[in-house]
């Protein structure tokens, strides 16, 4: 990341929306780019995260982190994918553990996008650009399960609208550290970039609204099998929320502790329900638990409490 510092010293630069101001002050990126950067915590004003509607003030110190431009070719790759559902508008795949969803620094091949480009040929929406064709939402590299991909821009806009109003049904299963006194609960805690480490997310008062509903399915000695229903879809939401209440995901090497033999967090996107963009019919897809997850449940069920 390249970091730029700007101090508002001229009265003529005061009272301007921060995204508009940055697009003029640092024109190598668009206003929409800066809006996303602000949402993701890569713009700080006087050391604090702000929203795009923030208006500049005299004396403001603005720190902007910009990803350097890199020309890359994203190529189709003949990588097997587990297709759970497919029609002319969308495709739902069962993403395996360890697979990155779309190309990013350090992962320009072997991603789900590379596999989808081979399978779908030219039938992927272009709204998110050449690096993320078809991608309307994501799950983390080490999270497994259902991922919805759009084949055309009309479907992409429709599904994105459903996600925005929280009408997409998303249910996850996970194994967490520790046991619960209650059988179910709701975590309503804003999530934003961690002010001490911008590579991480955290519960922060000025973050974006994040709501996770959870139900405890089984409890074992030192661990619990939990179902999560997302009301919002913030980056790392389940992982951050569970760590926040003292029950990090088993194996989470960012928000908890790594576990020998486990590749990251034990989290699975099981159910994905949405309205089909053309027919208007409700479609619900379920991804079976991966083998490693089933093996852990079998092991822990010997100590069920």
Catalytic residues: 140
- CA-to-CA distance for 183 and 227, rounded, in angstroms? 11
- CA-to-CA distance for 45 and 243, rounded, in angstroms? 27
What phi, psi does 106 have (nearest 5°)?
Answer: 90, -10
Residue whose pair of structure tokens reads 């006087």 in the numeric block: 46
What phi, psi does 167 have (nearest 5°)?
Answer: -95, -10
DSSP 8-state code for residue 302: G
Distant-in-sequence, close-in-space partners of 37: CB < 8 Å, separation ≥ 6: 29, 43, 64, 65, 66
- CA-to-CA distance for 126 and 123, rounded, in angstroms? 9
Strand residues in 47-161 grouped as ranges (E): 48-49, 61-66, 83-86, 90-95, 144-150
- CA-to-CA distance for 70 and 130, rounded, in angstroms? 13
Q: How large is the angle between the packed helices 31-39 and 18-25, nearest 10 degrees?
A: 130
């Amino acid at each position: 990341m390249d970091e730029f510092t700007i101090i508002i010293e001229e009265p003529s630069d005061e009272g301007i929306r921060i995204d508009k101001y940055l697009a003029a002050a640092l024109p190598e990126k668009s206003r929409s780019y800066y809006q996303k950067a602000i949402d993701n915590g890569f713009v700080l004003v006087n050391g604090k995260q702000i929203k795009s509607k923030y208006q500049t003030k005299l004396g403001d110190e603005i720190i902007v982190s910009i990803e350097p431009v890199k020309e890359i070719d994203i190529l189709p790759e003949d990588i097997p994918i587990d297709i759970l559902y497919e029609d002319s508008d969308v495709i739902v795949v069962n993403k395996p553990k360890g697979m990155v969803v779309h190309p990013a620094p350090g992962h320009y091949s072997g991603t789900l996008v590379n596999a989808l480009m081979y399978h779908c040929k030219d039938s992927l929406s272009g709204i998110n650009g050449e690096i993320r064709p078809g991608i309307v939402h994501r799950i983390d590299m080490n999270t497994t399960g259902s991922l919805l991909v759009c084949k055309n821009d009309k479907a992409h806009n429709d599904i994105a609208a459903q996600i925005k109003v929280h009408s997409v049904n998303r249910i996850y299963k996970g194994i967490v550290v520790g046991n619960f006194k209650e059988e179910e609960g709701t975590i309503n805690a804003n999530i934003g970039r961690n002010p001490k480490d911008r590579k991480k997310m955290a519960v922060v008062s000025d973050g974006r609204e994040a709501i996770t509903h959870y139900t405890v399915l089984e409890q074992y000695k030192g661990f619990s099998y939990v179902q999560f229903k997302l009301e919002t879809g913030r980056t790392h939401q389940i992982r951050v929320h569970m760590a926040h209440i003292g029950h990090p995901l088993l194996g989470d090497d960012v928000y908890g502790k790594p576990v020998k033999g486990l590749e990251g967090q034990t989290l699975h996107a099981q159910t994905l329900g949405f309205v089909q963009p053309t027919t208007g019919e409700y479609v619900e897809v379920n991804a079976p638990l991966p083998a490693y997850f089933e093996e852990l449940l079998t092991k822990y069920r010997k100590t069920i409490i």
